């Protein structure tokens, strides 16, 4: 049986990926520095394996043929806009150790999950923006240290592949969302955070929902099921360059809140407050992804946000 290691397996995408890979028939080792909040069907679970330390990385990658390298210290804009040094330092060490271990332990294929945060800030200054193509990655400086580190690690794994050590695939995520992820505590991303705020407004019969900034900042959002299908397709492909993984439907944060409120069947009042907003607009050009993978994201934002809202609402009501 093909043996796979998933690092960052306690995270949102990671634990969904472990489940997905088991459904495809793989033997899976799940690795993280902490246990997950949700059940995992992994064959081996290493929940005290901090990849910032090289011996841990070497041990974790021993005896596996493929690696999905998801491990990272990350969160939503409220988190990555504050802890620049910690993110840059810790994530650099994780990926340097993972790259070394993959080469040393004879891993055959590795997929690194990068981010749309690598794209230059100067290409994302307007709300109505063209889709970012993979070639835009080196056209300027990213807006956060998180993006800088992701770009650096893309280069690290690319150079490792050039040495003939292993095959490398690079996925650039554009705002992946879905149930069973962070929804409170400071590391949650916009879809889950806004679902929580709407659920709390509904529960408390208080229609006010706080939104950071004017709410006109724009993004695209990709459901976890579509993400996993594209991720798996990329790993199996022969494509060696970075590839956007996401959707290309551009919506404002105000529009996203309206979609959530409709799913909640509640009327809300938007209260715009000061807070980190990230770039003004970010869109994904998926033309290369469609050529390489022959895939079209299938889950609509309305259906996906409805699913996420119902799950978050359950958590909100269960926590009080």
| 252 membership: H or E segment, kind and range | strand 251-252
Q: Is 317 a catalytic residue?
A: no
Do 223 and 246 meet the contact criterion of CB atoms below 8 Å apart? Answer: no
Give Cβ neighbours of residue 62 (< 8 Å, ≥ 6 apart): 105
Whole-number Å distance between alpha carbons of 75 and 83: 10
DSSP state, residue 8: T
Do 278 and 314 meet the contact criterion of CB atoms below 8 Å apart? Answer: no
Q: Note the helical H segments in the chain.
A: 12-23, 54-60, 77-80, 84-104, 145-162, 190-204, 224-236, 253-264, 287-293, 301-318
Catalytic entry in 68, 146, 157, 177: 146
Do 208 and 271 meet the contact criterion of CB atoms below 8 Å apart? Answer: yes
* Catalytic (active-site) positions: 146
């Amino acid at each position: 049986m093909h043996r796979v290691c998933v690092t960052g397996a306690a995270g949102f995408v990671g634990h969904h990926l472990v489940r997905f890979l088991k459904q495809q028939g793989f033997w899976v080792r799940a690795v993280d520095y902490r246990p997950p909040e949700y059940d995992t069907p992994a064959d081996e679970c290493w929940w005290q394996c901090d990849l910032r330390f090289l011996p841990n990385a070497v041990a974790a990658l021993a005896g596996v043929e493929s690696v999905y390298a998801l491990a990272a210290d990350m969160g939503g804009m409220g988190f990555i806009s504050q802890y620049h040094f910690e993110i840059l330092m810790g994530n650099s060490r994780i990926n340097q150790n993972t790259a070394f271990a993959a080469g040393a332990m004879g891993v055959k294929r590795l997929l690194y999950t990068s981010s749309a945060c690598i794209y230059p800030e100067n290409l994302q200054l307007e709300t109505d923006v063209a889709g970012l193509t993979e070639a835009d990655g080196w056209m300027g400086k990213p807006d956060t240290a998180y993006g800088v580190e992701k770009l650096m690690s893309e280069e690290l794994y690319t150079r490792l592949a050039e040495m003939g050590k292993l095959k490398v695939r690079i996925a650039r995520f554009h705002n992946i969302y879905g149930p069973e992820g962070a929804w409170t505590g400071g590391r949650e991303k916009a879809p889950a955070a806004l679902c929580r705020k709407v659920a709390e407004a509904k529960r408390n019969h208080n229609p006010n929902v706080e939104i950071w900034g004017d709410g006109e900042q724009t993004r695209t959002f990709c459901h976890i099921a579509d993400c996993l299908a594209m991720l798996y397709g990329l790993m199996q492909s022969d494509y060696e360059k970075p590839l956007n993984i996401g959707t290309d439907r551009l919506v404002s944060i105000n529009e996203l809140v309206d979609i959530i409120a409709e799913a909640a069947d509640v009327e809300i009042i938007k209260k715009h407050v000061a807070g980190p907003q990230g770039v003004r607009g970010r869109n994904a050009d998926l033309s290369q992804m469609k050529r390489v993978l022959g895939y079209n994201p299938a889950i609509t934002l309305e259906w996906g946000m409805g699913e996420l809202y119902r799950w978050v609402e359950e958590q909100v009501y269960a926590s009080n």
